[in-house]
Amino acid sequence: MMSSATKTVKAHILVIDDKPANLELLQRVLERRGFGVTVANGHQTAFALLESWYPDLILLDIMMPDLDGYQVCEWLKNNPNTADIPVIFLSALTDMLDKIKGFSAGGVDYITKPFQIAEVMARVETHLKIAQLQQSLRVHNQRLESEIIQREKTEQALAKNQRYLSTLISNLPGVVYQRYNDKQWTMEFISEGCLALTGYSADEFMSNSEFSLSQLIPSTYHESLWQTIQLALLEHRPFQLMYPLQHKDGSQRWLWEQGQGIFHHNGQLETLEGFIQDITHQKQAKDALAQTQQHLMIALETIPDGFVYYDSEDKLFFCNDHFRRLYKKIEQHLQSGVSFSTFLQAGLNGNLYELGNVPSALWLQRRLNRHQQGGCYEQLLCSGRWLEITERRTQDGGYVGLHSDMTERKINESYLKQLNQKLLFFIHQTPLAYIEWNTELFITHWNAAAERIFGYRAEEVLNKPLSNFIVSLPENNYQESCLMMNSNCLIVNQTKDNYEIICEWYNTPLIGEKGEVVGFAALAQDVTERQQTEKALKQAKEQAEVANRAKTAFLANMSHELRTPLNGVLGCAQILLRDQTLSDKQRQSIGIIHRSGEHLLMLINDLLDFSRIESGRLQLNIASLRLDQLLQDIADFFILRCREKQLQFQYNANAILKRELVVEADARRLRQILINLLSNAVKFTEKGQIGLNVNYHEGLFHFNIADTGCGMEAEFLRRIFSSFQRGQHHLEGAGLGLAISHRLVDLMGGELRVETQVEQGTRFHFALALPIIQSGFNSSAKIIGYVHPHEKPIHILIITDNVDIHKQLYNLLRPLGFKLEQANSGREGLIKAEQFLPDVILMNSHLPEISGFHCVRYLRKNPSFSQTVIMMFSTVSLEENEEMASKALAEGCTCFLKEITGEGILLDALAEYCDLTWQFFEPSPLSFAQQESSDGELTCFLPVAVLQKLLEQALIGNIKAISLQLETLFPLYPESNVFLKRVEELTQNLQVTKLKNLLQNVLARVEKES
């Protein structure tokens, strides 16, 4: 401590600073001005002095050891003996927040270093005067009570003090105010600094003459500011505020305010007094810094690598989440303040690092050294992962680290190394020549196989032009030819011994890092012998094709030649059969001739079809086809065929085939395929059943023909679709049926497959894409019920407030066997759904109380309705329907019915989503005359025996025999062609029932007429 000499002084000043030079300077200057100066080099010395001595003013430094200036000032203001001593801060800290902190601690002024002596003296004298004036005011106030006569003198002194105070307030960098405690911030007094602060004069704010200060503050801040002030007043403490304000020029300013309540001695609040300062620049700088820090943190958290920062004391300051994931095993040591050496030791203790054979102490020392030096290195973890660690020292003595997981790169490098090894092995061991050349066409690589094929050693060709060794092309276009060479081509090359060889070349360009061509690589093999062999094979193939075409033409010609005399034999046999004078033995012999002729005609027809297929002359005749009717006719026909052998026949089809279904297909060939396959099934099955199953799925019709017959051996299965192959049981037939069926299915775009098991049966399957032209319920076929795979009744809940729609649905669905429940609103529908747990919910989109969409959303959240079929419908316009359909499916509906009035749409949906098969009403067949009265009047001159023979074949379903017999009848009985054409039509369409009725009616009429 240093003290000035005892003499008469203007005032006593205590200077507190830990810098001797500052103390000496201030003491010398102040004493020269007549002040008594006492200095203290720290808070302990100052506190000791202030126990028994109280100066008039204190000059206080901020940056001091142990206790800083703010803390010393707070101690002074908390001590009743020193609380009124004015304190002026001296500091090199120039930030506005530091000044605010100084005023908050109780300082009356703040002088920044380096300071001007004149400024220091002016402020010291000003604050001493203020202190003296304040002291005088106190003295005058005391005297005022006892010395009324001194009032005039006191008022003059008070006015003088007010002038001093006004001068001081005018020079402060802000606004001093006195106001009421109301939400309008009504001003009793506001200094002239408000003009610079707000753009408005003090008079405009006084008593809210023009407007209040609160009108310039955004309304969103009003309540929080009011609550902060009221809480401070309640606790009798100062308040601090920060808020934006709209300046008169339209700009936004940020203000800092400190104030306090002035209370009467009875505790009544009198007014609010305070100070407001513009901190816009400080706020903008602070916000910019915060935004920059936020962007930096986002960037650090989003990078795919671990980032860490250690401070100058090598203690953890920050690490991102990816760094924590990399070192999750020792995550408890990734707390702020943990030293780097502790972090490493924790990793060693936790067996995090793979040390190899290096002792842990040596590894730790090496790692610390690398850490101090910085750089980039790799570290293997015990988990098998590789890290690439990059560390750099910062200017403040800390360091940043980037820890990247390079495991995948290591694996790729290892894989690339293996690939290179394999490639080198391939290049050296392959029998193909491997050659590389650069863009100037100089050879850069030549393997051992190239030496064997071309005869040149590697040292003879490397770094020499490609044209000297591979192929001789004209020099003017040689380079272009090599560069433009196809990726796969045949070239005639010359060997070192001047032999010409044909080589097959596989070329590819070599691409550099920038995408440019840096050279070419090629594989070449000698294919001279292969080319000679292929040439010979080609010639042999052409000769075989010529022979095959000749064979096909011969078969076709011979078939036609055989049909002519065969038709004569069959015709004569039929004429002889009409002769009533023949004996039974003669009739039996002629019958054998007739049946043998029919069988021979069937074989000839198969040969004709096969010859057309073999020669490529068979073309499909695509036309509209009632597929449902064709399948039903075939099923009716084979029911009779199976009944002859006491076999069961089952025909199954899904819902789409139980109605009118028009497709595009070749009806004759599709019928031929199915009849061939079903005929074979009947032929090779002695007991059990035959099945025809047809299903439509994902745009394909799937046909399955299954039997419980003898099955096939694996050896025969490999050649089952070959020509002239007969089953191992060697039943009748030429062995062409399956071959023709296989070729026809292939021609239709499908594939015929077979599954078989000896003594268990056989299943043939093929799928065809038949375009659907028309699909809908047959109006003449009435649905009377349904069949579910689990044989359970379907429970349907109908939710609609439309009475007409409910009646319509009730009348449609109740007769079919569905169990129905009804709800008239969304709320009632949800209650009944949980009560009855229906299989299907039919729901209107527009419902009272709760809409259909909200109902669906609620139901789908309940696990009990996760698989329930929910169908939504609407009665709005078609345009709105499109939008509702998308919304309904998004909410979880199974489907959206764009029309609820058409029963076909609803029944289609029920069949599809509930896996139902409809049951149809089948009326008892009418007589043929009732069905088609015109057929009964057809002119027929056929003998009774011929009609009886046709009827016999129809009754047993032998369609093929009827077709063969018709071919002989047309030329013999031209006068009956109309009748025969009708029989042929019914035969081709497999309408067996109608055919039997026709023959029975015509036979009865002919017998009656004869």
Coil, helix or strand at residue 352: coil
- What whole-number distance in Å separates Cα of residue 851 and Cα of residue 270? 62
Instruction: Give the C-alpha separation, 905 to 812, whole Å.
Output: 12
Q: What local confidence, expressed as pLDDT, does residue 539 receive?
A: 85
Mean pLDDT across the stretch 823-844?
91
SS3 string of 238-258?
Answer: CEEEEEEEECCCCCEEEEEEE
What pLDDT is stored for residue 635 in this prediction?
A: 86
Q: What is the mean predicted confidence (pLDDT) over 345-364?
A: 89
What's the whole-model pTM score?
0.34
Helix H or strand E segment including 1002: helix 992-1009
Q: What is the DSSP string of 699-752?
A: TEEEEEEEE-S----HHHHTTTTSTT---TT--SS-S-HHHHHHHHHHHTT---
Tell me, what amino acid is at 617? Answer: R
Q: State how far the alpha carbon of 243 is from the alpha carbons of 171, 201, 215, 222, 923, in Å.
A: 23, 20, 13, 10, 92
Task: Tell me the pLDDT tens digit for each residue of 267-276.
Answer: 899 899 999 9
Considering only CA atoms, which of 67, 57, 55 is closest in space to residue 18? 67
Q: How many Å apart are CA 986 and CA 947, to the nearest integer? A: 15
Residue 372, pLDDT above cutoff 50: yes
Q: Mean per-residue pLDDT for 823-832?
A: 91
Above 50 in pLDDT, residue 3?
no
Least-confidence region, from 302-316, 431-445, 759-773, 775-789: 775-789
CB 333 within 8 A of CB 342: yes
Contact 936, 928 (CB under 8 A): yes
Q: What is the predicted pLDDT for the residue at 738?
A: 81
Q: Give the pLDDT confidence score for residue 609 in this predicted structure.
A: 65
- Contact yes or no for 725/739 (Cβ under 8 A): yes
Cβ-Cβ contacts under 8 Å for 984 (sequence gap 6 or more): 963, 966
Radius of gyration of the chain (CA): 55
* CA 429 to chain CA centroid, nearest Å: 46
Note whether 503 and 453 are within 8 A (CB): yes
Q: How far is CA 37 from CA 16, 24, 508, in A?
A: 11, 10, 95
Give residue for tokens 């400080």: 282
Confidence of residue 231 (pLDDT cuts 50, 70, 90): very high
Picking from 478, 113, 985, 60, the residue whose alpha carbon sits closest to that of residue 998 is 985
Q: What is the pLDDT of residue 2?
A: 46
Q: How far apart are CA 655 and CA 195, in angstroms?
A: 89
Band the pLDDT of 730: cuts 50, 70, 90: very low
DSSP-H helix ranges across 616-648: 627-644
Using the predicted structure, report yes or no on whether residue 731 has a pLDDT greater than 60: no
What SS3 class is residue 619?
coil
Cβ(611)–Cβ(556) under 8 Å? yes
- Output the pLDDT for position 932: 41
| Pick from 98, 92, 38, 91: nearest CA to 60 | 91
Q: What CA–CA distance (Å, rounded) separates 475 from 494?
A: 16
pLDDT given for residue 478 in this prediction:
45
Helices and strands, counts by H and E, the chain: 33, 36
As given in the structure block, the two tokens for residue 386 are: 């590789």
For residue range 484-532, what is the model confidence (pLDDT) as tens digits?
A: 454 677 778 888 888 888 888 888 888 888 888 888 888 888 888 888 8
Once rounded to an integer, what is the mean pLDDT over residues 17-35? 88
Between 419-428, 615-624, 800-809, the lowest mean confidence (pLDDT) is in 615-624
In angstroms, rounded to a whole number, what is the distance separating the alpha carbons of residues 487 and 521? 10
Q: Decide if pLDDT at 890 tops 50.
A: yes
Give the residue with greater pLDDT, 735 vs 635: 635
Residue 484 three-state SS: coil
Both structure tokens of 47? 């506190």
Distance, CA of 210 to CA of 204 (rounded, Å): 5
Cβ neighbors of 947 (< 8 A, separation 6 or more) are 940, 999, 1002, 1003, 1006
How confident is residue 712, by pLDDT bands cut at 50, 70 and 90?
A: confident
Average pLDDT over residues 841-859: 89
Q: Strand 187-190 vs strand 175-179: parallel, antiparallel, or unpaired? A: antiparallel
Give, for 693, the enclosing helix (H) or strand (E): strand 689-697
Return the minimum-mean-pLDDT range out of 220-234, 723-737, 906-920.
723-737
Residue 766, pLDDT above cutoff 90:
yes
Q: In whole angstroms, give the CA distance from residue 533 to residue 527.
A: 10
Asked if residues 18 and 40 have their Cβ atoms less than 8 Å apart, the reply is no
State residue 253's pLDDT score: 92
Residue 567: the pLDDT is: 65
Instruction: Find, among 251, 71, 117, 103, the residue nearest to 173 by Cα.
Output: 103
Question: What average pLDDT does the structure give for the chain?
Answer: 82
**What is the Cα–Cα distance from 138 to 158, expressed in whole angstroms?**
11
In this predicted structure, the answer to whether residue 618 has a pLDDT above a threshold of 50 is yes
Give the HSE-up count for residue 263: Cα atoms under 13 Å, Cβ half-sphere. 12
Maximum average pLDDT range among 79-83, 253-257, 783-787, 849-853: 253-257
d(CA 904, CA 901): 9
Cite the beta strand spans of 373-420 per DSSP E. 375-380, 386-393, 399-405
Tens of pLDDT, residue by residue over 548-588, are: 677 666 665 666 566 667 766 766 776 676 677 778 777 77
Encoded amino acid at 490, one letter? L
Tens of pLDDT along 955-1002?
877 777 788 788 778 766 766 777 888 888 888 777 778 888 888 888
Q: Measured between alpha carbons, how far is 857 from 855 in angstroms, rounded to an integer?
A: 5
What average pLDDT does range 748-766 have in this prediction?
88
Residue 714: pLDDT band (50, 70, 90) is low
Mean pLDDT of 209-234: 89
Q: Which amino acid is at 532?
A: Q
Average pLDDT over residues 810-838: 89
pLDDT digit string (tens) for 620-653? 778 778 888 888 888 887 887 888 888 898 888 8
Question: Are β-strands 917-920 and 895-897 bridged in parallel, bridged antiparallel, or unpaired?
Answer: unpaired
What angle, rounded to 10 degrees, do the helices at 584-615 and 737-747 form?
40
Measured in degrees and rounded to the nearest 5, phi and psi for residue 510 equal: -100, 125
pLDDT 10s digits, 289-332: 888 888 888 888 888 899 999 998 999 989 998 898 889 888 88
Q: pLDDT higher for 611 or 21?
A: 21
779 pLDDT higher than 50: no
Residues sharing a CB contact under 8 Å with residue 107, sequence separation 6 or more, in sequence order: 60, 73, 87, 88, 89
pLDDT at residue 719, as a whole number = 63
- Rounded to whole angstroms, the Cα distance separating 786 from 917 reads 5
Helix (H/G/I), strand (E/B), else coil: 366: helix
As a whole number of angstroms, the distance between CA 319 and CA 310 comes to: 9
Mean pLDDT of the 4-14 span: 73
In the block, tokens 């429970």 appear at: 795
906-941 confidence digits (pLDDT tens): 887 888 888 888 776 554 433 333 334 445 556 677
Output the six-digit token pair for 639.
Answer: 């029911």
Strand order in the sheet with 399-405: 316-319, 306-310, 399-405, 386-393, 375-380
3-state secondary structure string, 785-835? EEECCCCCCCEEEEECCCHHHHHHHHHHHHHHCCEEEEECCHHHHHHHHHH
Distances (CA, A) of 317 to 328, 336, 341, 348, 401: 17, 5, 14, 21, 12
pLDDT at 901: 58
Quote the CA–CA distance of 459 and 455 in Å, as a whole number.
12
